[in-house]
Amino acid sequence: MEALSGFYVMTYRQLKKFSRARSRVIGTIVNPIIWVLFFGLGWSGVFNFPMAKQLFGGVDYLTFLAPGVLGMTLFLSGFISGISIIWDKQFGFFKEVLVAPTSRVASIIGRIFGDSLTTLIQLLIIFALLYPLAGSLSLMGLIPSLLIAFLSSMMFSGLGVIIALKMRSLEGFQLLINLVMMPTLFLSGALYPITTMPYWMKLLAYADPLTYPVDGMRYFLAGTSALQPTIDVVLVTAFTALSLGISSVLFRNTTVE
Amino acid sequence: MSDSIVVEDLVKKYGDLTAVAGISFTVKEGEIFGFLGPNGAGKTTTIHVLTTLLKPTSGDAYVNGYHVVREAQKVRESIGVVFQDPSLDDDLTAYENMYIHGRVYGIRGEKLRIRIDELLEFVDLQEFRNVRVKKFSGGMRRRLEIARALVHEPKIIFLDEPTIGLDPQTRYHIWEYIKKLRSEEGVTVFMTTHYMEEAEFLADRVAIIDHGKIVAQGTVEELKSMIGDEVIYLKLGRGPSNGGSVPCLEASFIKECRQLRPGEIALKVGNAGEAIPRVIELAKEKGWLIKEVRYKRPTLNDVFIYLTGKDIRESEGEAGEKIRHIIRSRLAR
The three-class DSSP label of residue A205 is helix
The fraction of chain B above a pLDDT of 70, given in percent, is: 89
pLDDT at residue B1 above 80? no
At residue B332, the pLDDT reads 45
Asked if B12 has any chain A CB less than 8 Å from its own CB, the reply is no
A102: distance to nearest CA of chain B, Å? 6
Strand partners, B237: B289
CA distance A109 to A14: 12
Q: Are B232 and B267 in contact (CB under 8 A)?
A: yes
The fraction of chain B above a pLDDT of 90, given in percent, is: 46
pLDDT digits (tens, 9 = 90+) for B197-250: 899 899 999 999 999 999 989 998 888 877 777 778 888 876 554 545 556 777
Contact B96 A16 (CB under 8 A): yes
Tell me the domain boundaries of chain A: 2-252
Contact A93 B101 (CB under 8 A): no
At residue B302, the pLDDT reads 78
Which among A91, A97, A255 has CB closest to B104? Answer: A97
User: Chain A residue closest to B90 (CA)?
Assistant: A17
Asked if B64 has any chain A CB less than 8 Å from its own CB, the reply is no
At residue B319, the pLDDT reads 45
At residue B298, the pLDDT reads 76
Average pLDDT, chain B: 85
pLDDT at residue B156 above 90? yes
Contact list, A103 vs chain B (CB under 8 Å)? none
Which among B14, B100, B132 has CB closest to A12? Answer: B100
Query: What is the rounded average pLDDT of the residues B46-54?
Result: 93
DSSP code for A228: -
Considering A112-116, B39-43, B196-200, B265-269, the range whose residues carry the highest mean pLDDT is A112-116
A148: distance to nearest CA of chain B, Å? 30
Contact list, B106 vs chain A (CB under 8 Å)? 1-2, 5, 101-102
Nearest C-alpha neighbor of B35 from the set B216, B221, B191: B191
Phi–psi pair at A93, nearest 5 degrees: -60, -35
User: Chain A residue closest to B107 (CA)?
Assistant: A5
Asked if B100 has any chain A CB less than 8 Å from its own CB, the reply is yes
Going by their DSSP bridges, the two strands B289-296 and B66-67 should be labelled as unpaired
Q: For an interface test with B, which of A16, A96, A251 has the most B Cβ atoms less than 10 Å from its Cβ?
A: A96
Does ipTM top 0.90? no
Query: What is the rounded average pLDDT of the residues B29-55?
Result: 91
Residues 6+ apart with CB under 8 A from B23: B7, B9, B10, B42, B46, B207, B209, B212, B213, B214
Q: Which residues does chain A have with pLDDT short of 70?
A: 1-2, 169-170, 257
Query: What is the rounded average pLDDT of the residues B247-266?
Result: 78
Query: What is the rounded average pLDDT of the residues B86-90?
Result: 88
pLDDT digits (tens, 9 = 90+) for B278-327: 888 888 888 888 888 888 777 787 788 778 777 766 555 444 555 555 55
